[in-house]
């Protein structure tokens, strides 16, 4: 009894997919050019595939689970279940036009030609907005379409925006925000679901660890309560007396995003020697 996971063979999701599996303790030999690998310490087989094929393979049960971008998943429309968002491969699917195009709202692309590799998602978006436009499906190098006179607009993936910039385009509508997700076949057996739950538990622990930091600081005892209220931690912070009278060492956990918000208040309340340390795994 084992689980088969499909991940991208090469490309933008490959490295982070492999990294995630290693972070949750799955050991395997990275194959060069091979299509499959056996995990050494978990009943898991890895299949390395093109990202576009992953939803179909998971829907058919050739793979039981897979890692793929939401953009691909929504475009392919296969019956699979999304189990978890994975926090990497973040991008947006956006409509862009030539920077000289005077654009005020979506009505400006009514009846225009839009080149895209995502006709399904784009059609749904335009229909929901009641916009009639001509969708021109092309498989790659979408960003050059306006420059060569193929279309007046494009709908393509954007992350930093530099590709649009170098092609003289500007982003005008965000159609979809996307990140990598873990998908599963809809008909897994009870045993397969148990294995999947184990993996999901580990993924959660790894994701939480990334979003949280261990914080240690020295606090004057007269401001201890205020400082504790700023860093309440998982249950409550650990407080240890320092050798120097009137001072305590406070240990807690803070959300990475909150840290910069509270650092000033911590200092105002006399906190010193603040250390922020990455957490490897976190189970609440």
Binding stretches for ligand PRT (CB under 6 A): 8, 11-13, 50-52, 69, 71-72, 89, 91, 156-163, 178
Indicate the residue among 2 and 9 with the shorter CB distance to ligand PRT. 9
Least separation in angstroms between residue 138's CB and Zn ion is 14
d(CA 78, CA 280): 35
Closest CA to 125 of 140, 146, 149, 109: 109
- Residue 53 beta carbon to Zn ion: minimum distance, rounded to whole angstroms: 8
Q: Which does 12 bind (CB under 5 to 8 A by kind): ligand PRT, Zn ion, none?
A: ligand PRT
* Residue 83, C-beta contacts closer than 8 angstroms, at least 6 positions apart: 65, 181, 182, 183, 184, 196, 200
Name the minimum Å distance from CB 10 to ligand PRT: 6
Give the distance between the most distant pair of CA atoms in the chain: 76
Pick from 223, 184, 214: which is nearest to 276 by CA?
A: 214
CB 239 within 8 A of CB 221: no
Residue (52 or 108) nearer to Zn ion, CB: 52
Residues 113, 220: contact at Cβ < 8 Å? no
Gap between the terminal Cα atoms of the chain:
29
Binding site for Zn ion (CB under 5 A): 51-52
Q: Which does 8 bind (CB under 5 to 8 A by kind): ligand PRT, Zn ion, none?
A: ligand PRT
**Residue 161 interacting entry, from ligand PRT, Zn ion, none, C-beta within 5 to 8 Å by type:** ligand PRT
- Residue 119's binding partner out of ligand PRT, Zn ion, none, with CB under 5 to 8 Å set by partner kind: none
- Residue with smaller CB distance to ligand PRT, 55 or 69: 69
**Residue with token string 């873990």:** 182
Binding at 236: pick from ligand PRT, Zn ion, none (beta carbon under 5-8 Å per type): none
């Amino acid at each position: 009894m084992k689980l088969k996971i499909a991940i991208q063979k090469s490309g933008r999701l490959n490295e982070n997919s492999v990294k995630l599996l290693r972070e949750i303790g799955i050991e395997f030999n990275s194959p060069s050019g091979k299509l499959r690998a056996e995990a050494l310490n978990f009943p898991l087989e890895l299949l390395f595939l093109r990202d576009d094929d992953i939803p179909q393979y998971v829907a058919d049960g050739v793979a039981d689970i897979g890692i793929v971008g939401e953009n691909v998943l929504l475009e392919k429309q296969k019956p699979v279940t999304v189990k978890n968002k994975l926090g990497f491969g973040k991008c947006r699917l956006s409509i862009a036009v030539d920077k000289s195009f005077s654009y005020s709202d979506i009505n400006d692309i009514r009846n225009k030609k839009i080149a895209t590799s995502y006709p399904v998602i784009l059609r749904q978006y335009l229909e929901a907005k009641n916009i009639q436009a001509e969708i021109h499906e092309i498989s790659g190098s979408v960003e050059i379409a306006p420059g060569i006179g193929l279309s007046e607009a494009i709908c393509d993936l954007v992350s930093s925006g530099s590709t649009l910039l170098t092609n003289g385009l500007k982003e005008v509508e965000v159609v979809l925000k996307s990140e990598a997700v873990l998908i599963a076949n809809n008909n897994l057996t009870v045993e397969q679901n148990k294995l999947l739950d184990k993996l999901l538990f580990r993924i959660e622990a790894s994701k939480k660890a990334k979003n949280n930091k261990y914080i240690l600081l020295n606090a004057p005892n007269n401001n201890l309560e205020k400082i504790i209220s700023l860093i309440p931690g998982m249950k409550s912070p650990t407080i240890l007396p320092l050798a120097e009278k009137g001072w305590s060492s406070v240990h807690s956990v803070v959300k990475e995003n909150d840290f910069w918000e509270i650092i000033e208040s911590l200092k105002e309340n006399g906190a010193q020697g603040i250390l922020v340390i990455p957490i490897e795994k976190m189970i609440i």
